[in-house]
Structure 1
Amino acid sequence: MRDLAALPDLKLALVQTSMHWQDTAANHEHFSALLEQAQGADLIILPEMFTTGYSMDAVALAEPEDGVTRQWMLNQAKKLNAVVTGSLIVRTSDGSYRNRLYWARPDGTHASYDKRHLFRMAGEHKHYSGGERRVLLEVKGWHVRPLICYDLRFPVWSRDPYDTDLLIYVASWPKARRDAWNRLLPARAIENLCYVAAVNRVGMDGKGYPYSGDSQVLDFQGETLCAAQEEDGVFLTTLTGAALATYRQRFPAYQDADAFELKF
């Protein structure tokens, strides 16, 4: 079993901002400038579909799996010596379209996660294919599970009380449902006995929907460590493994968790 108390501090940078509607080049320029403020972070988290805004125009906007944004993320990761993560629209080699999160590392390697739960109220399931697997990634010894927006509403998909230190959610979660966002995030932290970092956007999208942000970092009791509210900018916070280890030793609810298997 890993010694969580021995984990080095993990510095997070949450990038909460508006974006240019369906304009990848403009968003690359916009986020490049913002990421200058994330110097010193170990993990930099961008919103869902950060190159285009949350769009169903997959055919027109999709990039190939090895497209310009993946390379942009890898370049930023190397420049900042940090993992850079966020989702975008991707066309896969089999011809399907995915809402894909890339995890770009400073050493030039990457991993990915495809959004499992597609937001049918916006018709996302008609334009994209859902992911088939969960992913557990690592940075500085920390185990991180990345998820995307609507995934937040499905606790079984997030559930892992044994080995996840940090859950991250990248989102384009509209202002009309901000109460659900702010209630579900603490629940995921509490039930999984882990940290949660969630990054949403602000501003208005090209269809006139407003976003309130509410990007935040929560500890394993659902207590707020960082709250961006509706501000535009980069928000920094630091996680400690010792605090997580102490709490899990004092309150080992994971030992009574139900065993289950996910079927596809």
Structure 2
Amino acid sequence: MQNQELKIALIQTNLIWEDPLQNRIQLAEKINAITEMVDMMVLPEMFTSGFTMNPENVAETMEGETISWIKKLAKAKNTAITGSLVISENGNYYNRSVFVLPSGEIETYDKKHTFTLAGEHKVYKAGTEKNIIHYKGWKICPLICYDLRFPVWARNVENYDVLIYVANWPKPRVNAWDALLKARAIENMSYCIGVNRVGLDANSHEYCGHSAAYDVLGEKLTNITPSKEETEIVTLTKTHIATYRNKLKFLDDKDVFSLNS
């Protein structure tokens, strides 16, 4: 099915430290409170636990309770739901983005740039491949938090339409979050969406949200209140992308290169 519009709910929320059950309960309330029909709902990074370096306390498998829960919600709400959580697989832990369709089909992306400042690289195995998700005629590129600082990884060589970052991005560096989300939209001539958590975690790191959506010209489309639990719905249009890509043709002049992981 080819949709000319894509309606997306950005769910900016606090997270309960290392408590998947309680996070599922509170997120289900927020998801079920959305009465408007949407095509996709976006949750923050590590939405079952907060940004923990104790994966053994919260890790699940792809057949675990959270995946079962999110499949049921996606089916009941007839929408795709995406966010990242801690997954245990083949003896490794991953910070994995899941994109769950109403049909129960799941697309995944493992975070490429693990956050060395917090020691994420010591406990989580880094991903090596981007995954462009085809959904309702749109091409969507899911990335995670620290990936935002690396424009080469996000470079739009696949002609994707929407770039999505889910995050636990702390308040002291939120200016970088704001600037880089806008930059990724402009340089890739794509919509760019960032969903960040709010609140304090167990390490006393504060998160102030600043979740937002930007269009291909870097215009902000949302007005989510910083530091508040809030959901906002934004509508993306194919005509906006086509109009400015055809008019400006900036992507035609992009540098050609290849990545060696």
* TM norm structure 1: 0.95
Task: List aligned pairs for 1:147-166, cutoff 5 A.
Answer: 147-166=143-162
SS in 2 for 1:30: helix
- 1:145 maps to 141
Contact 1:162 1:254 in 2 (8 A): no
- 1:221 maps to 217
Would you say 1:37 and 2:66 are equivalent positions? no
State the Cα distance separating 1:263 from its structure 2 match: 1.1
1:190 pairs, out of 186, 189, 196, with: 186
Task: List aligned pairs for 1:232-247, cutoff 5 A.
Answer: 232-247=229-244
Letter in 1 for 2:253: D
Contact 1:38 1:236 in 2 (8 A): no
- 2:206 maps to 210
SS in 1 for 2:182: helix
Task: List aligned pairs for 1:52-67, cutoff 5 A.
Answer: 52-67=49-64
State the Cα distance separating 1:246 from its structure 2 match: 0.5
State the Cα distance separating 1:113 from its structure 2 match: 0.4
Deviating runs (4+, > 4 A) in structure 1? none
Deviations 1:107-136 (A, max 9, x none): 111111000000000000001000011000
Letter in 1 for 2:154: S
- 1:104 maps to 100
State the Cα distance separating 1:37 from its structure 2 match: 2.9
> Gapped runs of 5+ residues in structure 1?
1-5
- 1:127 maps to 123
Would you say 1:118 and 2:101 are equivalent positions? no
Deviations 1:128-167 (A, max 9, x none): 0000110000221110000000000000110015511000
- 1:47 maps to 44
* TM norm structure 2: 0.96
Would you say 1:259 and 2:248 are equivalent positions? no
TM-aligned CA distance change 1:12 to 1:106, over 3 Å: same
- 2:80 maps to 83
State the Cα distance separating 1:60 from its structure 2 match: 2.0
Letter in 1 for 2:65: V
> Gapped runs of 5+ residues in structure 2?
none
Contact 1:38 1:44 in 2 (8 A): no
Letter in 1 for 2:163: L
CA RMSD, aligned part only? 1.1
% identical aligned pairs = 42
State the Cα distance separating 1:227 from its structure 2 match: 2.9
Stretch deviating more after TM superposition (196-205 or 62-71): 62-71
1:175 pairs, out of 171, 178, 183, with: 171
Contact 1:50 1:86 in 2 (8 A): yes
Question: What is the alpha-carbon distance in structure 2 between the residues aligned to residue 198 and residue 159 of structure 1?
Answer: 16
State the Cα distance separating 1:229 from its structure 2 match: 3.4
SS in 2 for 1:224: coil
Question: What is the alpha-carbon distance in structure 2 between the residues aligned to residue 113 and residue 66 of structure 1?
Answer: 16
TM-aligned CA distance change 1:24 to 1:162, over 3 Å: closer
Deviations 1:153-187 (A, max 9, x none): 00011001551100000000000100000111111
1:74 pairs, out of 35, 54, 71, with: 71
Contact 1:226 1:237 in 2 (8 A): yes
State the Cα distance separating 1:65 from its structure 2 match: 2.3
Contact 2:60 2:87 in 1 (8 A): yes
